[in-house]
Chain A
Amino acid sequence: MLPKEYSGVVVCAPVSTVRPRTTRRTVSWFLGSVLSQLVSRSGIGRYEIDGIVVASYGLAPDNAASLAEYFGLEPSFIMDIPYGGASGVMAMSRAARAIQAGDAEVVACMAADIAPSGYGIYSNFSSATRDHIYPYGAGGANATFALITANYMAERGASAESFGSICVAQRYNGARHKLSMFRKSLTMEEYLGARVISDPLRLYDCVPRCCAGEGFLVMSEDRARSLGLAFARIGGVIERNAGYASDPIMRRVGISRDRERLYSQASLGPEDMDFVQAYDDYPVIVMMQLEALGFCAEGEGHRLALEKKLTVDGDLPLNTSGGMLSLGQPGAAGGFLGLNEAIRQLTGQVLGEQVPDVRAGVVSCFGTVNYLRGLCCNAAILKEGVRS
């Protein structure tokens, strides 16, 4: 049985803050900046926001309730989702369901994190990373993804160039985006010649940290129309957490088994997708998401990456904003980048280059790297609504 449709609910008002590499501001400042922009961009009264969903690793000891008090909101629906890269679609689907259920009318989905100075949050990310990963010398997810990448290369026959083609295409897209940390694109020679971070991962396989906030609003289509907002519709959502636990090493993402469910909700297929926004903390995970979403068979993502033109003007536009590789990774707010770019593409509010004739696209999220694998996976199809 397919889940209840998301009809009547729309996503709108994608906002992004400044994105410095370091900051003396707090996470709450970035979230406040997001909320302020959501209000000014949408023209909605602050008190009309009666739901907030917050994604952040670094917000503690604060939470959605303390933020509501801080920002003078009195929401009937609050939710903290500390699930990093998986948080964008997760925030949207939970907000949409709350609206459909009548628990809230206008939900602000917000995410922010700041690059920690000194010791990273990884030291206390989860019991398993604190006890069994961090004391072994792994300061973040690099070592875990090095193992996953090494295994993917050995098992699937992927080449360094196949990963590089994703990175090069994304930096091409990013060079055209207003918020990119890099104006310059990347060549394959530069990718292959970069220093090794954790063999086989090189510098450009890893995303640069930054400090930023992202946000969007979820509300009824009627409300959006009355506010005169451009919006996109939710065509379908799938989510799978802690999937394929019996795979000794991560070789596919959890939503692989849910693909049919996603496309059936939208009555569309992979061939109808005008773009793909896939969480891009490491290229190997982008490949696994492309496989899971049906753009190729399982294990063929590396071939797809070499065969298709992945740039914003290509035949499979991938991470059209440049992804985190270009815009930087602001912790949990990195999980909002793909969704915000999808909304921008579908509503004609791009900060980079517009994919021509977009009707629908897919956003795939992945996050919460716990013990040697990522736990949270989800994906959504967004469809055109009203353009700006």
Chain B
Amino acid sequence: MKKRPDLPPRMRGRPARRLTSAAVLGRFELPVCTSCGHVQYPIGEICGRCLSDDLSWQPVARNGTVLATTVICHATEAYFQKNRPIRVGSIKLDIGPVVFARLGQDVLAAGQRVKLSNQLDRSGEAILCASAEETTKVENVLADPNREIEGRTVLVTGANGGIGRALVSAFLEAGATEVIAATRSGDAKEFSGAERVTQIALDITDAASVRRASETIGHRVDILVNNAGFTAISGFFEGSDTQGARREMEVNYFGTLEMLRAFAPHMKARRQGVIVNVLTVLAHSCLPSMGSYCASKAAALSLTQGVRAELIPWGVRVCAIFPSTVDTPASVDSPPPKLAPRRVAQEIIRMIRDGEEDCYPGDIARDLIAAIRKDAKTVEREMALALPEPD
């Protein structure tokens, strides 16, 4: 393998690293003193105004005024030397602190009103960025090529499923040059004759099939969506054997792993690429009525974290989406409310474009992950209560 790409510095202190976990979800959060309300930046663990150590990370107002700007024309890090000139400035936030930020295209002069965002750089670390106050979309201030969809080739596995079909049309609408729809048959009728859609036959549980696909199309896949999944909708003690549970593991965990092992090397070689793993919020907390499915997705979540760490140094971003129940044929027996597949597909597109890493689409997934982060045990007990009373 050739030399790794030059990437921006990854070193951060632990308190400041928390900024990255907000950037992963596209959030602008800073530590706020619980005692006196002082907003802390530079980030530390002690309130600079009242010396309290009771700080809480909160979403804060992101507007401010430019104090001064400069264009860095000479850099010491190879990454910045290659990507110069780099526009930076100091911004006085309305909520108090002065922040050093990368500047968006339309941020030109001192005195200008701006809106801050917290974006991931190519090392996957947080960088504060300033865009003109009237900007509505999340500007690609750091010029990350992994945030482009126009002109890209996208491979979607499980393309004939509910989310898969929505993904194919969403990527086409978003301007992808080509969407490769992978299904087990390779001739799904919904894609026949569709412009910019290529069909391939792919069984992700068959290593030979995955290898063939990678040899044929791997070199041109910029974005891989590991969407193919399987659920037996079964508790751990249901059925006469563990076949369903094994099948879930085969598809959701080993199938995804085969795909990553086959396709990531092409992306690494190009120092660019995006992989999206379609998981579920239940990867974080087991719903016992479909416990073995949750276990397989928990395995896929762990896989996602591991490959992300291995691929970031090569310029490849690994994203994950964690929906609650999605309205697909596979979830016909699940109770409402259900997310529309189209919504999930659009959120994946948005996550890529906004440079985020994780996405919890819809209120249910968002509330559930917040509850799990606050008190995982309470959620576990509530999940247990969802099981029918024993006879």
Interface residues of A (CB under 8 A from B): 119-120, 122-124, 127-128, 130-140, 142-143, 146-148, 150-151, 154, 195-201, 248-249, 371-372
Known A124-B11, A130-B11, A137-B86; contact A142-B42, beta-carbon cutoff 8 A: no
Contact between chains at B42 and A136 (CB < 8 Å):
no
Contact between chains at A135 and B8 (CB < 8 Å):
yes
Instruction: Please report the C-alpha to C-alpha distance between residue A99 and residue B125 in the assembled complex, in whole angstroms.
Output: 50
Contact between chains at A137 and B77 (CB < 8 Å):
yes
Known A124-B11, A131-B13, A151-B110; contact A143-B70, beta-carbon cutoff 8 A: yes
Known A120-B76, A135-B127, A372-B100; contact A249-B68, beta-carbon cutoff 8 A: yes
Contact between chains at B12 and A136 (CB < 8 Å):
no
Pick the contact of A154: B72, B88, B102, B110 (CB < 8 A).
Answer: B110
Contact between chains at A199 and B70 (CB < 8 Å):
yes
Known A135-B127, A249-B90; contact A140-B76, beta-carbon cutoff 8 A: yes
Task: Name which residue of chain A comes closest to B129, CB basis.
Answer: A136
Instruction: Please report the C-alpha to C-alpha distance between residue A195 and residue B70 in the assembled complex, in whole angstroms.
Output: 14
Residue among A136, A195, A199, A248 with max Cβ neighbours from chain B (10 Å): A136
Residues of chain B contacted by A248 (CB below 8 angstroms): 67, 90, 92, 98
Residues of chain A contacted by B99 (CB below 8 angstroms): 132
Instruction: Please report the C-alpha to C-alpha distance between residue A199 and residue B70 in the assembled complex, in whole angstroms.
Output: 5
CB distance from A109 to the nearest CB of B (A): 30
| Other contacts beyond A139-B74, A199-B70, A371-B100: 8, CB < 8 A | A120-B76, A131-B43, A138-B72, A146-B68, A147-B89, A154-B68, A195-B73, A198-B72
CB distance from B53 to the nearest CB of A (A): 16
- What size tier do the contact residues of chain B reach? 35 or more
Interface 0/1 of B61-97, CB less than 8 Å to A: 0000001111111111100100110101110100000
Contact between chains at A137 and B102 (CB < 8 Å):
yes
Quick check: is B9 within 8 A (CB to CB) of the other chain?
yes
Known A119-B76, A150-B110; contact A132-B71, beta-carbon cutoff 8 A: no
Instruction: Please report the C-alpha to C-alpha distance between residue A320 and residue B71 in the assembled complex, in whole angstroms.
Output: 32
Pick the contact of A131: B8, B12, B72, B73 (CB < 8 A).
Answer: B12
Contact between chains at B98 and A139 (CB < 8 Å):
no
Residue among A123, A132, A146, A198 with max Cβ neighbours from chain B (10 Å): A132
Known A143-B88, A196-B73, A198-B74; contact A371-B42, beta-carbon cutoff 8 A: yes
Residues of chain B contacted by A148 (CB below 8 angstroms): 68
Quick check: is B44 within 8 A (CB to CB) of the other chain?
yes
Known A130-B12, A248-B92; contact A136-B70, beta-carbon cutoff 8 A: no
Quick check: is B101 within 8 A (CB to CB) of the other chain?
yes
Contact between chains at B71 and A199 (CB < 8 Å):
yes
Instruction: Please report the C-alpha to C-alpha distance between residue A128 and residue B16 in the assembled complex, in whole angstroms.
Output: 9
Known A137-B77, A138-B72, A199-B71; contact A132-B100, beta-carbon cutoff 8 A: yes
Instruction: Please report the C-alpha to C-alpha distance between residue A40 and residue B275 in the assembled complex, in whole angstroms.
Output: 67
Pick the contact of A139: B12, B70, B71, B77 (CB < 8 A).
Answer: B77
Contact between chains at B13 and A142 (CB < 8 Å):
no
CB distance from A203 to the nearest CB of B (A): 9
Quick check: is B121 within 8 A (CB to CB) of the other chain?
yes
Instruction: Please report the C-alpha to C-alpha distance between residue A133 and residue B9 in the assembled complex, in whole angstroms.
Output: 11
Task: Name which residue of chain B comes closest to A129, CB basis.
Answer: B42
Residues of chain B contacted by A143 (CB below 8 angstroms): 70, 72, 88
Residue among A123, A143, A148 with max Cβ neighbours from chain B (10 Å): A143
Instruction: Please report the C-alpha to C-alpha distance between residue A323 and residue B163 in the assembled complex, in whole angstroms.
Output: 67
Residues of chain B contacted by A138 (CB below 8 angstroms): 72, 75, 88, 100
Residues of chain A contacted by B98 (CB below 8 angstroms): 248-249, 372
Task: Name which residue of chain A comes closest to B121, CB basis.
Answer: A135
Interface 0/1 of B30-65, CB less than 8 Å to A: 000000000001111000000000000000000000
Residue among B12, B77, B86, B123 with max Cβ neighbours from chain A (10 Å): B77
Residues of chain B contacted by A124 (CB below 8 angstroms): 11
The list of the 5 closest CB pairs from A to B, nearest first, reads A139-B76, A146-B70, A131-B16, A137-B86, A147-B68
Residue among A135, A138, A140 with max Cβ neighbours from chain B (10 Å): A135
Contact between chains at A150 and B121 (CB < 8 Å):
no
Pick the contact of B69: A123, A150, A372 (CB < 8 A).
Answer: A150
Residues of chain B contacted by A134 (CB below 8 angstroms): 9, 11
Residues of chain B contacted by A140 (CB below 8 angstroms): 76
